[in-house]
A and B are shown apart, each in its own frame.
Chain A
Amino acid sequence: MASDTAQKKSYAQFLLPAVMGAALLYFIVMAKGAIFPFILSAALAYVLNPLISYFEVRGIKRGYAVVGLYLSVGAVLSIGVYLMLHFLSYDIESLQKYWPTYAERLQAYVTDMNTRMVANYPFLAKLGLAAKLQHLLEMVPQLLLSLLPALTLLFIIPFVTFFLLVGGSAIIDYLLDHLPSRHAELILHVASRIDGSLGNYLRGILTEAFVIFLIAFTGLMLMDLNYAAVIAVLIGFSSLIPYLGAIVGALLSSVVAYLQFGAILPIIKILAFFTGIRFFDDWFLQPYIMKKAVDLNPAVILLALMAGAEIGGIWGIVFSIPVTCILKELLQIAVELQETEFRWKPKPEPTRISIPYT
């Protein structure tokens, strides 16, 4: 009887957290659009936190460290963004003006190619490639303009991140102090393992994307290619997804080079430049920047990207690699725990030495 009551009590203690968890999940599903900037802010706060901790352990109070970071990074970014917008606004204006001409040339090229191909392979006529391309080309300016509302995120995210950085550590400390004491060591061990590989991955990939953006921008400017700023920004963002940066860069730049110069040599130069970026990234950037991050097999990356796209579209792609990092680390930890905590395997043997202490 007493054991029945104890069991009921032990079930009851999970009731409130379970109800609260379900309510939270429901809220997240219902308000996912509104929550999204907060998820991005939390990710940014997580990436920036080591910088704040750097000053914090050197005696600067957290609030002042965050304000200092915002003022200094804000000043540098403002100049950078001002310059970028200056270039971008010129590029976008120019693109709007010249787009019909470019579209006409591209369409003429594809129509010509299509006619020749249909002549050789009549079944291709059924695909209606020319009509599809025309529709696509008409959509491009609209598509570019539709990206502008996403710029509001640039104001919301730093705002939310500021408050997460200032108050976030207190929440984490509260949660840490309220972990079940007996399991705190194990939970913190798992958390620091995930933090180690995920944090290094995120910081690494952001640095990598920024370096690739700078190289691409400088290189394309030197090649005197139109829309260098727009292309470099797109390359920077697409570099957040492994392997995509150089592919996007090579494709976009080749199309722009064809439209601008109408010759094959600039395209070859551009392809060589992006091949160079790819090798520089593989041989120098990644081994140096990502040496402490979790090592993911390219096939796993591809699977993660495809699954991410299937589940969450473009943002699914962006978050697929960090989530895969967490899953890989959890899998490794689970295997280790199997050997230690769960005892499914024989206990690890301590090191034994036959020579006595002398």
Chain B
Amino acid sequence: MVYVELLVSTLTQGLIYALLSYGVYITYKILDFPDLTVDGSFPLGAAVTAVMMIGGMNPYLVLVVAAIIGAVAGLVTGLIHVKLGVRDLLAGIITMTGLYSINLQIAGSNMPIDRSIDTIFTAAPTMMLFGDMSLMHRKFIVSIILAVIVKLLLDLYFKTKSGLLLRAVGDNDILVTSLAKDKGTVKIVGLVIANALVALCGSVVCQEQRTFSSTMGTGQVVFGLATVIIGTTLFKRMGFVKGTTAVMVGSIAYKICIQLAINFGLPANLLKLAMAVLFLIVLVLGDRKKGGASRA
């Protein structure tokens, strides 16, 4: 029984963090832009969530506002990169570093949310639909719904003209220029959507854990990149599986790996080290399948 519960909570984690993976999928896989803003926009989403929740705002509305504020973080990185000509990696680092202070300004180093405040898992509409379930199962159901809705919206977006152009710019930005479109603007749009998703993920995590901590962003880029690579590598031979589905599975698989490591007695202090090693393994194995390792 305890194992079933552990599995459900691990799956819940994987589904919630899939929102972040979608964002990294857009920047890393579609735009070919290693966006480090994530380490800052994830806690940014959580920080504004904690403040707004304590201020008594509707928890569902909080999700929307957090996503919009995350979008602004993406916009900043995009403008630094496109308009000021700073390299992609550095543009993300600048925003991420600045956001650390901003997050501290917003919510301090720690901000717990009191049990009396309703989150998306305990507020009225959720209780009306799934009120007879235990909190754990309710969290599970809500995260499935969130992960699937966002996935379907993204799939739909990728089929629009704007989405097609976004996919084209990562594939071949010269072609986008010759279509009389500004490739810089398209990249900014991608960064905006991606960081909105990351901040949305931060908001859900904050509501789920009922706390914000200024260090919760550390390692989120590595997590996101690893899940994207796990997901896309797993389903590489299955063309019909959409990228968004692949990274959702990647996110779940990743969380299961980490949970297993903890169950086998990995001390919490070594968690980030384990994450880094897992990422390295994924990178090397993913590359090997591409035939990349043959150059060594």
Answer yes or no: do A and B interact: no
